[in-house]
């Protein structure tokens, strides 16, 4: 396809409609000479005359009549495409594709119904995955991740406040096994493991403070009857009494309020920086993405 394929076509349609180079020039805001030069270039590319010219009138050749029929439809399609893009630049509409970690599933699900009702012209596509994603290369509008996992060259907007991590289990599990009082006692408990995208098992992080000194942060490998590839399954298994799971407190807080899970080891838990939505450039925060962020923040006030 030639780079100059569309050059002169709009000018040609205006000359054909006005039957005048001068009138077309006035409408387009250019000189008559510029119109004449553009038509000559277009005819040279086409390889035949499109217009007949006399001192008194401008007409269409047979080839010009055929060309005009096709050109008008093409110009109308381009104008419609521009108008559609402009509308998307003002009103939230179109496909909004987000990469979301499994751990955020229980946070994002409650806002879906309200967002769909508030913005019916936005089609939301959520891809749940825990791997590191190049959102630009893979066609995402944005991604949601924990703050420490976002590349520094991304624009990040906070969605949730920092939240402590937590170890939780069901009341039935604790009734059978008791609650661990220190992280080291997890070796005596059934823990639900998560296998990361690269194949390694997720290590549980803890913090221990000694007086006024700097806290000691350490990681532990845990063992248990179940290994899964996502925190959502961990949570379901913990509710069912299979074992203990490690998660962000704000994620499992609704289940704790309902009495389905109970926390333990509260004095040893580090803090998660919270969730952010990120994208590569402020100019790419289109209305559909801005609408999602604003709706989320309103819902989480």
> Does the structure show a pLDDT above 80 at 55?
no
Do the beta carbons of residue 274 and residue 158 sit within 8 Å?
Answer: yes
Distance of CA 144 to the CA centre of its chain: 8
Question: Stretch 258-273: mean pLDDT, rounded?
Answer: 94
Rounded distance between C-alpha atoms, residue 232 and residue 252, angstroms: 10
pLDDT tens per residue across span 113-172: 999 999 999 999 999 887 778 888 888 999 998 876 677 778 888 888 898 999 999 999
pLDDT at 90: 66
Q: How far apart are CA 192 and CA 287, in angstroms?
A: 40
Looking at the chain, the whole-number percentage of residues with pLDDT higher than 70 is 93
Residue 270 has pLDDT above 60, yes or no: yes
The pairing of strands 275-279 and 142-146 is: antiparallel
∠ Cα 114 119 120 (to 5°): 100
What is the C-alpha separation between 241 and 173, in angstroms, rounded? 5
User: Nearest CA to 250 among 137, 148, 104?
Assistant: 104
Closest-CA residue to 50 (of 11, 99, 89): 11
Please report the pLDDT score of residue 87 as a whole number. Answer: 57
How far are the Cα atoms of 96, 98, 143 from residue 125, in angstroms, in the given order?
6, 6, 11
Calpha distance 105→234 (Å, rounded): 12
107 pLDDT exceeds 90?
no
Task: Please give the model's pTM, rounded to 2 decimal places.
Answer: 0.60
In the predicted structure, residue 45 carries a pLDDT above the cut 80: yes
Q: What pLDDT shows up at residue 3?
A: 66
Distance CA 288, CA 271 (A): 31
Identify which has the larger pLDDT, 104 or 203.
203
CA dihedral 91, 125, 104, 288 (to 10 degrees): -10
pLDDT bin (cut points 50, 70, 90) of residue 283 is low
Could you tell me the two tokens for 60? 């269409």
């Amino acid at each position: 396809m030639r780079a100059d394929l569309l050059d002169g076509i709009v000018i040609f349609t205006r000359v054909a409609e006005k039957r005048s180079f001068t009138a077309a020039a006035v409408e387009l805001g250019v000189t008559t000479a510029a119109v004449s030069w553009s038509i000559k270039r277009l005819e040279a590319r086409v390889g035949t005359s499109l217009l007949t010219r006399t001192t008194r009138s401008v007409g269409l050749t047979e080839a010009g009549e055929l060309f005009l029929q096709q050109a008008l439809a093409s110009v109308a399609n381009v104008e419609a495409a521009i108008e559609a893009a402009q509308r998307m630049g003002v009103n939230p509409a179109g496909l909004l594709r987000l990469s979301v970690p499994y751990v955020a599933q229980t946070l994002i699900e409650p806002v879906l119904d309200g967002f769909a009702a508030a913005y019916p012209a936005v089609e939301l596509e959520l891809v749940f995955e825990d791997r590191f994603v190049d959102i630009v290369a893979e066609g995402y509008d944005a991604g949601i991740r924990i703050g420490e996992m976002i590349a520094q060259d991304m624009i990040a907007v906070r969605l949730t406040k920092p939240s402590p991590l937590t170890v939780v289990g069901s009341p039935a599990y604790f009734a059978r096994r008791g609650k661990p009082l220190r992280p080291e006692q997890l070796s005596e408990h059934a823990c639900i493991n998560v296998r990361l995208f690269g194949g390694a098992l997720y290590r549980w992080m803890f913090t221990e403070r000694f007086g006024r000194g700097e806290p000691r942060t350490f990681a532990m490998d845990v063992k248990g009857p179940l290994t899964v590839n996502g925190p959502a399954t961990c949570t379901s298994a913990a509710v069912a009494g299979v074992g203990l799971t490690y998660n962000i407190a704000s994620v499992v807080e609704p289940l704790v309020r309902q009495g389905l899970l109970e926390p333990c080891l509260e004095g040893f838990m580090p803090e998660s920086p919270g969730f952010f939505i990120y994208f590569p450039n402020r100019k790419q925060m289109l209305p559909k993405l801005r609408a999602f962020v604003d709706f989320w923040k309103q819902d989480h006030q």
